[in-house]
A and B are shown apart, each in its own frame.
Chain A
């Protein structure tokens, strides 16, 4: 079974731009969660999608948004990028809600110049 796939692996953007990150969950998994990982703040929960609906949302500004498609693939979008958005963005999938074991992807490393 293929694992969680995140694309792209690396991304460099400048302030003010927007970015879209993609996540393909493990086949059969209906829940996709997104996390931001930084040295200073650690792993922070962004949001969770289940069956195309946002189930939970972390404490991030509205510039961070996401969606999930009918095939459970998910995208995360960040608009008006700020330097502080530089981070490793991790996607995780699980069969049910995120209270079940999650399988993580390798992440997308986003650098803002």
Chain B
């Protein structure tokens, strides 16, 4: 069965600190997609990024960057110079042909 592990349950940082959210996945499928979603305090999950299993290129979008490494089955998410608005619960997710699996989420609190 597929599995997504977000070992960090809660992280607390002070504004302007960099923070990395870890995601490790397990799958036997060769074709799959990895996602990050954010659930702000208001509740509605918001899509952040998608990566397919054949594209290991890292991506940077503003203060956000993602590091995908198939060799270690990891898809980590880094926020540079964090802001209070980055607070929320971040979910890593794995989708393949027959399954959609979310990690337990990491609650990030950014303090001013």
* A→B interface (CB under 8 Å): 3, 33, 35, 42-45, 48, 56, 58, 88, 90, 92, 98-107
User: Would you call B70 an interface residue if the criterion is a C-beta within 8 Å of the partner chain's C-beta atoms?
Assistant: no
Tell whether, in the assembled complex, residue A103 and residue B101 are in contact, meaning their CB atoms are under 8 Å apart: no
Least CB distance, A76 to chain B, in whole angstroms: 15
B8 to chain A, nearest CB (A): 14
**Set B33, B47, B102, B104: member contacting A99, Cβ < 8 A:** B33
Q: Contact at A42–B103, with CB atoms within 8 Å?
A: yes
Q: Which residue of A lies closest to B91 (CB)?
A: A43
Report whether A102 and B44 are in contact in the complex, using a CB–CB cutoff of 8 Å.
no
Interface residues of B (CB under 8 A from A): 32-33, 35, 37, 43-47, 50, 91, 93, 95-96, 98-105
Main secondary structure of the interface of A (DSSP, over half): strand
Chain B residues with Cβ below 8 Å from A43 are: 91, 93, 102, 105
CB of B98 within 8 A of CB of A102, answer no
From residue B39, how far is it (CB to closest CB) to chain A in Å? 8
Interface centre among A33, A35, A43, A103 (most CB of B within 10 A): A43
Q: Who on chain A is nearest to B96 by CB?
A: A99
For B48, give the chain A residue with the smallest CB separation.
Answer: A101
B98-A104 in contact (CB<8A): no
24 contacts between A and B (CB under 8 A): A3-B44, A35-B102, A42-B102, A42-B104, A43-B93, A43-B102, A44-B102, A45-B102, A48-B100, A90-B45, A92-B45, A98-B100, A99-B32, A99-B33, A99-B50, A99-B96, A100-B50, A101-B35, A101-B47, A101-B50, A103-B47, A104-B46, A106-B43, A107-B43
